[in-house]
Amino acid sequence: MQWKKWVPDAGFYGQMYAKSSFISDKGVVLGFEDEAKTKKITFNFENGFLSLRETEEGCFMKSFENLNAYLEKHIYLQKESWFLFKVESSEYICRFKEQSLGAYNEEKIEHYVIITYDVISEVLSTSAPKIEVESVG
């Protein structure tokens, strides 16, 4: 398992709070709010969405051990409280491929991880999300 910083070109930085998530026939939409409550950030995985897993951040200890090992090598990420990652060769991808009986063995599946103060959102998708940033108030 290899954690990598994910830097989408969307114009937002800092920590976020989870606000909403829903799955529809068009994919999955994850909604967040920045710490200052001045921006609403939406991740729309409408193309290539395969799976969503959300976990209360206090229940994510084993994965945090792996993430902390990555952060120790990249100390600058600790200072900026980075929260967006991709995980290569993850157990989540392997388990998904196993459960799909090989239907996705040839697909390039990305494992996106969004870490907020309260929820860890993980998405498996064959394409990047559309990201919208909206000023609030």
Q: What is the pLDDT of residues 98-123, one digit of tens each?
A: 999 989 988 899 999 988 877 889 99
Q: Is the pLDDT of residue 64 over 80?
A: no
Strands across the sheet containing 2-5: 2-5, 84-88, 110-115, 119-125, 49-56
pLDDT at 137: 72
pTM: 0.81
Q: Is the pLDDT of residue 3 over 50?
A: yes
pLDDT at 8: 81
Q: Can you tell me the distance from the alpha carbon of 52 to that of 15, in angstroms, rounded to the nearest whole number?
A: 21
Whose tokens are 């792996």? That residue is 66
Q: Can you tell me the distance from the alpha carbon of 32 to that of 42, in angstroms, rounded to the nearest whole number?
A: 6
Mean pLDDT for the stretch of residues 60-84:
56
Q: Tell me which of 97 and 56 has the higher pLDDT.
A: 97
Q: Can you tell me the distance from the alpha carbon of 17 to that of 25, in angstroms, rounded to the nearest whole number?
A: 25
* Strand intervals (E) in 2-94: 2-5, 16-24, 27-34, 39-45, 49-56, 84-88
